[in-house]
Amino acid sequence: MNFEEYQHRIEQFLKNEIELYGDELVLPRDAVQALFDVHESQADWQSIGDLAQFHSAIKDCLKCPLGGNRIKFVFGSGNPAAEIMLIGEAPGADEDRQGLPFVGKAGQLLDKILAAIQLDRNEVYIGNIIKCRPPQNRDPLPQEIEACLPYLHKQIELVDPTIILCLGRIAAQTLLRTTESLGRLRSKVHDYFGRKLIVTYHPAALLRYPQYKRDTWEDVQLLQRIYIESKK
């Protein structure tokens, strides 16, 4: 966990405590110590410089209750030195069974979207905000996201992409730390710690709402233009 991420975790903890206790806020010693324990526990993998080693270091994670219910830990897949990194929300049932991201119907559609801009999933790196399937594919809870987000930050550091494509509202809002709607976030290029970040609809949403396909096509064309420009 880098300083910025660690600071954010402390801010979230204090915000939650203030909401609960207001002016009577008292921080129990064990609660404060837990923050530092989390930081110390991550020291074992912070220095890892290889995705495969990182996977081995965290694959048995039980930092939140989702870990106890998963079939497989869905780490991520693709080119470990990709210039483009795709980030979705969470594994679904197919992903939970196979241990790979985007392998169900949404994944098949994602492959077609990539092919439409002359990309293959082996050229990009694909991950999710969280690495274990939520029950009934519900939205990840804030505490589940906070527990898993340092892993994603480390993956971004290791892959070191030039461009990030957020697939869906939760991925976009989490990385950009905003409550803005997906509609307001898409069709523009955001700065994410010096990287270019683009937002579009999750492929699963396109299966339910085909009318979003035109907007998604515009978004991935923007991605393609930025990618081509970065190669010059």
Give the separation between CA 134 and CA 114, rounded to whole angstroms.
Answer: 26
Residue 183 is predicted with a pLDDT of 95
Angle, CA of 76, 52 and 124, to the nearest 5°: 40
For residue 29, is it within any domain?
no
Domain at 99, CATH number: 3.40.470.10
Residue labelled with tokens 């897949």: 77
Please identify every stretch of the chain with a pLDDT value under 70, giving residue numbers as ranges: 1-43
Q: Is residue 9 part of a domain?
A: no
218 is in which domain, residue-wise? 42-231
Q: In Å, what is the CA distance from 149 to each residue of 21, 38, 143, 214?
A: 26, 13, 10, 31
- Three-class secondary structure assignment of 143-168: HHHHHHHHHHHHHHHHHCCCEEEEEC
pTM of the model: 0.81
Question: Is residue 3 a part of any domain in this protein?
Answer: no
Question: Does residue 7 lie within any of the structural domains?
Answer: no
For 77-194, where are the alpha helices, taking DSSP H only?
Answer: 93-98, 105-116, 142-159, 169-176, 182-185
Residue 120, in any domain of the structure: yes
**What is the pLDDT at residue 39?**
45
Is residue 37 domain-resident?
no
Model confidence pLDDT, tens digit, residues 55-83: 999 999 999 999 999 999 999 999 999 99
Provide the number of structural domains found in the chain.
1
Q: Is 28 within the bounds of a domain?
A: no
pLDDT, one tens digit per residue, over 18-30 is 665 565 555 555 5
